[in-house]
Every structure is written in C-alpha cells, then in structure tokens.
A and B are shown apart, each in its own frame.
Chain A
Amino acid sequence: MLKIEELKVSFEGEHVLQGINLEAQAGECIAVIGESGAGKTTLGLSTMRLLNGNVSGKIYLGNTEILALSEEEIRRIRWNRVAMAFQNAQNRLNPTHRILDQVAEPMIAHRYGDKAQAKERAVEILKEAGLASAKFHHHPHQLSAGEQQRVLIAMALINDPEILILDEPISSLDAGSRMEMITFLKRAIRGRTVLVMTHDISTAARLASGVATLYGGRIVELGPTSAVLSHPCHPYTRALLRSYPNMTTTKDLQGIKGRMDRLVTGCAFHPRCTQAIPICQKQIPALVKHDGWLVACHRGGIISALSVNKLSKSFGQLKAVAGVSLTLEHGETLALVGQSGCGKTTLARMIAGILKPDKGDMWLETGKSEQKGKDYHRTVQLVFQNPGEALSHRLTVIESVREPLEIQGVGTKAERDEISRRVIEEVELPNTDKFLDEYPHHLSGGELQRVNIARALVLNPQVLIADEPTAFLDSSIQAKVLKLLMNLQENRGLSMLFITHDIAVARKISDRIAVMQKGRIVEQGSTSQVITSPSHSYTRKLLNAAAELHSGDEDKTMPIISSET
C-alpha cells in the first residue's frame, strides 16, 4: 500500500506541495484531480523520489519509508515496487533507442531476466497495450502520440510493480482509442495500488474508487468517486465539475473566477470562494471527516446560503404556497420551475422578505432569520419580472440604481455614485452621463432588465432571486440576459434562485431544479438527473412540452396542460 504523510515539496522558493496526506490501500485506485500546475505530476514523481527540490515528510511504500533510503536503495526500488507511466512529451522516449529495447531495458537492468526473456515479455506487454507489432523495432518519432503513450504505459508494467502511478494516461489519445485504453488500464491495474493523476474527470470516474482533489498544493477533498462526483462537498471540486464538458452535465460550462495563486495565506481557495469568511484568510483548513468523507474547509464544505422550511401562504381560500421546503446552496443556481399560478412568485416574494409567510421559517447562512430588517435585504435581493413596472418612471437610471444604497445609508454620496456606476458597467450598460440620465421610458426591454439587475446587485447580496427575468423580453435579448446572469454568478459567487416556467432554460442555467405544482414542490434534484430521469408525472409533462428543435417521426400530439391536472 501507499501512504503519504505531510509531504511538502518546494522548488527554488516556490511551494508546490504544502502538506499532502494521502493513503491508498493495497489494490485500491485513487484518482488525483486538479488543474494543470496543481502539482499532480510533482506528487507522482515524489512517490519515486525523483524530485530535485526540497522534500520533507514521509512516504511509505508498504513498510518502507523511501525518503530515508540511500540513493542505491531507492534505485533498486524504482520500477520494481513502484513504476510510473509518464505523461507523453516530445523526447519522453529516448529518440535513438528502438521501442522494444526501451521497454525491455528495465527488466534487464534489474535482472529479472536475460535479454531474450526481457524482449519476449516486452513483446507480450506491448501487444496487450495495443501497439502494432510492426512498430516494435521503430524509433519513437515514427510513432504517433497515442502509440507513444501506449509504449509508456506498457513500459511501466513490465516489471510487474505493486504500486503504479499513471500520469495523464489518456490525454494524448483520440476519443476512439481512449475507451480501448481505459479497458486495458482497468485490467492492468487489478491487484495493484494505483494513483491516477489527471485533469480528465471521466478517467477518474471510470478507473478509480476514490478521488482526491488537489488545489494550491493541498488535498481539499478526498472521498469515494461516485459520491464526490455526484455531490461534491468542496466548492473547488464543484467548480471543476462545472467547468468540465461531459455528456452528463446539462448546465452550460462555467469557469472559476480568479486564478490559482500559491502565495495566498490561509485557505488557498478563499479568494475564489463564494462562502469565504474571515478565518479562511488566516488559517489553513485541515482535511477532516465530514459526512462520510474528507474535506478541507473551515465551513465543512459547501453550505447552504438559504433554506426555507415548510413555508406556507394563503390568500383567503387559495393556498398559494403549501409547505414548501427548499435549500439553496452557496454558489449554486437553483431553478424553480412551474407554470403560471403555481405559486412561484408568491414564494419568491416571501423569500425576498417582501411578503410575510403564514407558516414556516427561513434560514440564512448566518442562522435563522426574520426576513426583515436592513441586514436581511442586504443579503437577499429580488429581480422582478416586469422591468418596466419594477422601475419608477420618475427616476433616472442612476437614481434607480443608487436607491438601495441611499435607503441603506451606504457610504458617502460620491461613493454611492461610484458603486452604482461600476455595477452599471458590470451589467454591460454604458457608463456615460447621457445614459445614466435617461428615464425608463426611453430604454428598451433588455436595457431595463439590466438596470433592474444592476439595482439588485448594488448592495452586494449573497442570494439573488430572479423571477422570470426574461419573460418580457425577446428571445435574442433573453439569451444575452441569461448569459449575463451566469457571468455575474461566476464573478460574484452569487447563489441564485431562478424562477421560470421554461424547463429548457432551467436546464441550461441551473445546477438543481425544483418543480413546483399548485403550491407544492413535487420533485427536486440535480438538473441532469431530473431532466434525464424525471420521477414525477408532472415533470415528465413539462419535459414533453418543452421546446425542441427537431420534429419527431411519429405524430406527437401536444398534451394540454391545464391547471386542473
């Protein structure tokens, strides 16, 4: 088995790994995922003690602690007990040696056989790895990148190592060869302790039983693959998954705000995190057990920004909202989908603190809240449906945007102006005096909605409720506004509750969906899950009626959805 304790690696003053703790049991395969430059290759090289910088900590291969060994002892261990399938690069294979010789070399060097035996075994392994036998006597430059990768992997297996490190094993293969390689790898890693370093999450998903997320030189999350990938705890893992194109996720790709910076104090991720609190800047969070697996976060992983519990509201006889419970996690977009009249807007207004619920309570990040008071409104803001009506016709653009700041008494007049102007730029409106002095009736629908959004953002809320924000807009403008909202979420780290009747839009914009019918939530779950396998009939009806671009072969009658159903 492989155990890494408090591994710290630095090169010329730059700290690449800052205290790694990782353990892989015999026969287990753990994937280490992270972006390029995170330190995955360095981690891999450290298990073979091939690093040139300052290394401290302990690494156990079985019972042997390798950092304490002499050069000769570690030389003997290399490629025998632990081998690495390197990432392919130009001149990774010696350009003047033939393929077969290179693959057979370690076996001969470590005296596992004579030349003939080694060559035989090399031929066997190369065939298994899928290399055409004609290429065995060629030189590396005569092979394609994919073929070279196979050679590298075959080479790693030749001495039958107990521990195998795979560094980006399929990155240089084309899509067709990848499946083949994964199948081969699945066989090859059986019985071995394996570390797979990759930025490709599907590789991790297919090969590994456990996954560790590497960020800023530390492991920030470590747990069973299926659990972590479907419900990540650490905001960075979630962000990685969001930015990774795959067939499962339906939401549009989103980046992660900011860049990795190693010189950050405290938690390395906090400048990019949506739920950072003061301690995050001061102290490095330890990797501790939380809900079944390990997360390094002062807040114990992603927390909820807002949760409502059995909220109810009736207008006379009409039960508009009947016992709704919802959780909006930090930095996520939750779409509330339902037809008109289902109670969405009522719910939205209750959450925004405009309407008082009859029953139920609401919890913010900071604790139970009374949905009123100035502080509440600083945290939760609402973007209304009809922009024309939401803005006062007597106020100019700048005056409307500035209004919340004036109400809350934020800063001096000059500062309020400054903030307003910046937010107006953020929503991609012109920051010119001419525009700022315009009255609403001179603006187009799209511009009005942007002003609306700007006004909602000016107090820097954590939770943004968007109530059918594009209902009154042309579809071309709709796309722009939706993109704007997603960008704002990415840049500001907003947690967004997105209310819409259009499940197609919800699909593109949200991480989770809650389906509402007649004041009740009938289904909620991750967007990809709900869209591909809905469990409630109403959801299915909504999906069937959703906009599609191709006409079906069979005669599809549009089911009529009425409020009676």
Chain B
Amino acid sequence: MFTRQNLITYLVALLIILTLNFLLPRMMPGNPIIAIYGDVALIQMSPELEAELTERFSLDQSLGRQFVSYWVALFQGDLGYSYAYNAPVTEVIFGRLPWTLLLAGLALIISTILGIVLGIESGWRRGRKFDGSLLTGMVALSGFPDFLLGILLLLLFAVNLQLLPLFGAENAYSDLSGFQRLVDIGKHLLLPLVTLVLARVGGGYLLTRNAMIGELKEPYILLARAKGLKQGTIRYRHAGRNSLLPIMTRTGILLGLMVTGVLFVEVVFSYPGIGLTTYEALTYRDYPLLQSLLLVSALCVLTVNFIADLLYAKVDPRVNYAR
C-alpha cells in the first residue's frame, strides 16, 4: 500500500546510497582521481585527461561544490567512464542489463510459481510421505549457496556430460538469428536458470506451505467441502489463494534484489550480466563502474518495490485491514 511512510523510506534509502557513493572515494587518503579511477588511472591517464577530469568533477574545489557537481552530473546521466571496458559506464551497464533481467526475471517467476505450487501441494498433504520427503529435500537444498549449486551443475552437465555450454549468454562467434538464436540463448540460459530456481524455491515453498497449513484449519474450508467443491478447487481457489500473501511479500523484496541477487551465479557461469560486470569491475578496481552499478541497482529496487506495494492489496484484501 502506497503511503507516505513508504515513500520516505525509499527516499532515505536512495539518499544513503548516493551519499555513500559520493563520500567513499573522497574519504580515502591520497589522490582522489586514483581513488575514483583506481590504480589503472595511474597507468593510463594522460596529464590532459587528468586535468579535464579534475575540472569535470570539481576535485580541486570544496567538498560542498563537489557534492553539487556530483548531483549535476547524475542528473545529466553522466555516470563516468569505465577503464576496464574502455567505454562510458552507461553503455556498459545498459548493454549488460537486459541479460540479467532475462535471467533473474525468469528465475523469479519460475521459482515463485514452483514454490507456490509445491507449497500448496505439500501443505495439503501435510505429514504424509509426499510432504515429508519434499520438506526434507527443500531444507537440505536451502543449505547450498547458489554459487555452489551452480558449480555442481556446471560440473555435471557442462564438463562431464558435455550437454550444455560452459559459459556466456550465447555463442559469440556464430551469427545465428531468429529461432536458432533463441535456442542457443536458451541452452546458455538453462543451467544458470536452474541453479537460481533451485536456490530460491525453498524459501517460497516453506512460506507457502506454512500459510497453507494455517489456512486449512480455518472454518471456511469445512464450508467449502460441504458445498461439494472438487478437491482441486478447495486447494487452490480457497486455501491456496489465501496462502499467497507471505510469498508475495517475499517476492516483492526479491524482485527488488533481483538484479544483484544473481551475482554469484553469473560469475560461476560467466554469464554477461550486471553481476559479472560487478565482479569484473571489482577485479579491475573500476570504481566508476562499481558506483554506478550500485546506483542502478538501488533505483531498480526502489521502482520495483513501489510497484509491488501497489499490487499487494489486489492479491489479498486482508492487507488493507491488517495495516
């Protein structure tokens, strides 16, 4: 539910991030340019470029003035220049972002739906074999960090069985197009997707299962049975639907963290998305890129949470009255 409280929270979050973004490099001792551009700068930068950058970032002026020009640059969409990739940061980020959105988006959708369905079915059969084994499996699964799962899958399918490609989002050297290209992308997408789904499904499953167990005890379930409704109807339209709230809340949060949550998996599979970019920027100490990545992710989070909040009330009318 969109309230003024939420808005303030989001703004505060944004401010914290942006301010940190600004402060951190300037808090380090030594030449700010090195702090911003890293050691790479020492090697690659010419004195003219250095002078130009100093002027652009107002580095020779007071902290206050710098703060102002920081914001000015932000609003102009100038995020700086990446030395690791030798391109403007904006180009790098927005070139990679779609891949991450594809992977993370699909993973989120699939793991949420899977979590819901498995949670409902498990809750319905609570205590029986289906539930027992599924629950044990999910708990065991939750112990594996996503990068570990990824490596194991990679080992099994790509290295040993050689069924699927080892890295990348698509085969960079061929010029496939149309359907063939889709298939190629699909093959590259499969393992990282499966990894993410396996890593995420447990949480949603447990939430739904718990909610389901609670709902099945409610009086309206007896009424639904009395009405002669089919079991499937009772399970999904009645109990299932009312069990959605916790997982929806969680999905909302995950949506926001979608972009950053895939970092480890992208690294493992060398999948060219934002996560891998972050890792590489880290390795190369490409600070402008890192800072901008933080900014972009933060914006992503805020926008998404906004929308999610608006959608909650539609899913479960009890939300409005619980607040």
A–B touch (CB < 8 A): the answer is yes
Please report A residues at the B interface, Cβ cutoff 8 Å.
45, 48, 50, 75-80, 83-84, 86, 89-97, 105-106, 109-110, 139, 141, 152, 155
In the complex the two chains form, is B228's CB within 8 Å of A94's CB?
A: no
Q: Residues of A contacting B187 with CB < 8 Å? A: none
Chain B nearest CB, measured from A23 CB (Å): 23
Answer whether A75 and B228 are a contact pair too, CB < 8 Å, given A93-B220, A96-B241, A109-B233: yes
Closest 9 CB pairs of A and B: A78-B228, A106-B227, A94-B220, A92-B219, A79-B228, A91-B218, A89-B219, A79-B227, A75-B228
> Which residue of chain A is the closest to B238 with respect to CB atoms?
A94
A-B contact pairs, 23 of them (CB 8 A): A50-B225, A75-B230, A76-B228, A78-B225, A84-B226, A86-B222, A86-B226, A90-B219, A91-B218, A92-B220, A92-B223, A93-B223, A94-B220, A94-B223, A95-B220, A95-B317, A95-B318, A96-B242, A97-B238, A105-B227, A106-B227, A109-B233, A155-B227
Answer whether A96 and B219 are a contact pair too, CB < 8 Å, given A75-B230, A105-B229: no
Q: Residues of A contacting B222 with CB < 8 Å? A: 45, 50, 86
In the complex, besides A48-B226, A79-B227, A109-B227, 18 extra interface pairs with C-beta distance below 8 angstroms are: A50-B226, A75-B228, A78-B226, A79-B226, A86-B222, A89-B219, A91-B218, A91-B219, A94-B223, A94-B242, A95-B242, A95-B317, A96-B241, A96-B317, A97-B238, A109-B229, A110-B228, A155-B227
Chain B nearest CB, measured from A10 CB (Å): 19
In the complex the two chains form, is A86's CB within 8 Å of B223's CB?
A: yes
> Which residue of chain B is the closest to A83 with respect to CB atoms?
B226
B173 contacts A by Cβ under 8 Å: no
In the complex the two chains form, is A77's CB within 8 Å of B228's CB?
A: yes
Answer whether A78 and B242 are a contact pair too, CB < 8 Å, given A94-B220, A141-B321: no
> Which residue of chain A is the closest to B315 with respect to CB atoms?
A96
Q: Residues of A contacting B55 with CB < 8 Å? A: none
Q: Residues of B contacting A90 with CB < 8 Å? A: 219
The CA-CA distance from A96 to B313 in the complex, in Å, is 11
The CA-CA distance from A155 to B218 in the complex, in Å, is 18
The CA-CA distance from A45 to B219 in the complex, in Å, is 13
Interface-central residue, B222, B223, B233, B316, by most chain A CB under 10 Å: B223
Contact residues of B between 229 and 280, Cβ < 8 Å to A: 229-230, 233, 238, 241-242
Interface-central residue, B226, B230, B241, B242, by most chain A CB under 10 Å: B226
The CA-CA distance from A84 to B226 in the complex, in Å, is 8
Interface-central residue, B219, B222, B227, B242, by most chain A CB under 10 Å: B227
Q: Residues of A contacting B219 with CB < 8 Å? A: 86, 89-92
Chain B nearest CB, measured from A469 CB (Å): 52
The CA-CA distance from A90 to B223 in the complex, in Å, is 12
Answer whether A106 and B220 are a contact pair too, CB < 8 Å, given A96-B241, A96-B317, A96-B318: no
Q: Residues of A contacting B228 with CB < 8 Å? A: 75-80, 106, 109-110
Q: Residues of A contacting B242 with CB < 8 Å? A: 94-96
Chain B nearest CB, measured from A64 CB (Å): 15
Q: Residues of B contacting A84 with CB < 8 Å? A: 226
Chain B nearest CB, measured from A166 CB (Å): 13
B17 contacts A by Cβ under 8 Å: no
B224 contacts A by Cβ under 8 Å: yes
Chain B nearest CB, measured from A48 CB (Å): 6
Chain A nearest CB, measured from B305 CB (Å): 23
> Which residue of chain A is the closest to B224 with respect to CB atoms?
A94
The CA-CA distance from A95 to B238 in the complex, in Å, is 9
In the complex the two chains form, is B317's CB within 8 Å of A106's CB?
A: no
The CA-CA distance from A139 to B223 in the complex, in Å, is 16
Q: Mark B190-232, 1 if CB is under 8 A from A, else 0.
A: 0000000000000000000000000000111011111111100
In the complex the two chains form, is A109's CB within 8 Å of B220's CB?
A: no
The CA-CA distance from A152 to B226 in the complex, in Å, is 12
> Which residue of chain A is the closest to B229 with respect to CB atoms?
A109
Chain B nearest CB, measured from A132 CB (Å): 20
Chain B nearest CB, measured from A137 CB (Å): 12
> Which residue of chain B is the closest to A75 with respect to CB atoms?
B228
Interface-central residue, B218, B222, B228, by most chain A CB under 10 Å: B228
Chain B nearest CB, measured from A494 CB (Å): 44
Chain B nearest CB, measured from A47 CB (Å): 10
Q: Residues of A contacting B241 with CB < 8 Å? A: 96
Partner of A109, one of B223, B230, B316, B317: B230
The CA-CA distance from A94 to B220 in the complex, in Å, is 5
Q: Residues of A contacting B220 with CB < 8 Å? A: 91-95
Q: Residues of A contacting B226 with CB < 8 Å? A: 48, 50, 78-79, 83-84, 86
Q: Residues of B contacting A79 with CB < 8 Å? A: 226-228
Q: Residues of B contacting A86 with CB < 8 Å? A: 219, 222-223, 226
Q: Residues of A contacting B317 with CB < 8 Å? A: 95-96, 139
Q: Mark B28-72, 1 if CB is under 8 A from A, else 0.
A: 000000000000000000000000000000000000000000000
Q: Residues of B contacting A110 with CB < 8 Å? A: 228
The CA-CA distance from A326 to B183 in the complex, in Å, is 102
Chain B nearest CB, measured from A369 CB (Å): 57
> Which residue of chain B is the closest to A94 with respect to CB atoms?
B220
In the complex the two chains form, is A78's CB within 8 Å of B227's CB?
A: yes
Interface-central residue, A50, A86, A89, A91, by most chain B CB under 10 Å: A91
Q: Residues of A contacting B238 with CB < 8 Å? A: 94, 97
In the complex the two chains form, is A106's CB within 8 Å of B318's CB?
A: no
The CA-CA distance from A91 to B218 in the complex, in Å, is 6
Interface-central residue, B220, B225, B321, by most chain A CB under 10 Å: B220
Chain A nearest CB, measured from B31 CB (Å): 61
Chain B nearest CB, measured from A136 CB (Å): 15
The CA-CA distance from A329 to B214 in the complex, in Å, is 53
Q: Mark B301-323, 1 if CB is under 8 A from A, else 0.
A: 00000000000000011100100
The CA-CA distance from A48 to B226 in the complex, in Å, is 7
> Which residue of chain B is the closest to A165 with respect to CB atoms?
B226
Q: Residues of A contacting B318 with CB < 8 Å? A: 95-96, 141
The CA-CA distance from A95 to B227 in the complex, in Å, is 16
The CA-CA distance from A45 to B226 in the complex, in Å, is 9
Chain A nearest CB, measured from B322 CB (Å): 11
The CA-CA distance from A495 to B227 in the complex, in Å, is 50
> Which residue of chain B is the closest to A88 with respect to CB atoms?
B219
Chain B nearest CB, measured from A420 CB (Å): 54
Q: Residues of A contacting B225 with CB < 8 Å? A: 50, 78
The CA-CA distance from A77 to B317 in the complex, in Å, is 32
The CA-CA distance from A79 to B223 in the complex, in Å, is 10
Q: Residues of B contacting A105 with CB < 8 Å? A: 227, 229
Q: Residues of A contacting B233 with CB < 8 Å? A: 109
Q: Residues of B contacting A77 with CB < 8 Å? A: 228
Answer whether A106 and B218 are a contact pair too, CB < 8 Å, given A86-B223, A94-B224: no
The CA-CA distance from A480 to B302 in the complex, in Å, is 75
The CA-CA distance from A229 to B225 in the complex, in Å, is 36
Chain A nearest CB, measured from B225 CB (Å): 6
Q: Residues of A contacting B321 with CB < 8 Å? A: 141
Q: Residues of B contacting A50 with CB < 8 Å? A: 222, 225-226
The CA-CA distance from A80 to B227 in the complex, in Å, is 8
> Which residue of chain A is the closest to B217 with respect to CB atoms?
A91
The CA-CA distance from A105 to B237 in the complex, in Å, is 11
The CA-CA distance from A544 to B241 in the complex, in Å, is 68
In the complex the two chains form, is A106's CB within 8 Å of B316's CB?
A: no
The CA-CA distance from A75 to B232 in the complex, in Å, is 13
The CA-CA distance from A152 to B219 in the complex, in Å, is 12
> Which residue of chain B is the closest to A105 with respect to CB atoms?
B227
Chain B nearest CB, measured from A121 CB (Å): 15
Q: Residues of A contacting B227 with CB < 8 Å? A: 78-79, 105-106, 109, 155
The CA-CA distance from A128 to B225 in the complex, in Å, is 25
The CA-CA distance from A78 to B222 in the complex, in Å, is 12
Contact residues of B between 276 and 307, Cβ < 8 Å to A: none
> Which residue of chain B is the closest to A98 with respect to CB atoms?
B317
The CA-CA distance from A79 to B242 in the complex, in Å, is 23
> Which residue of chain B is the closest to A74 with respect to CB atoms?
B228
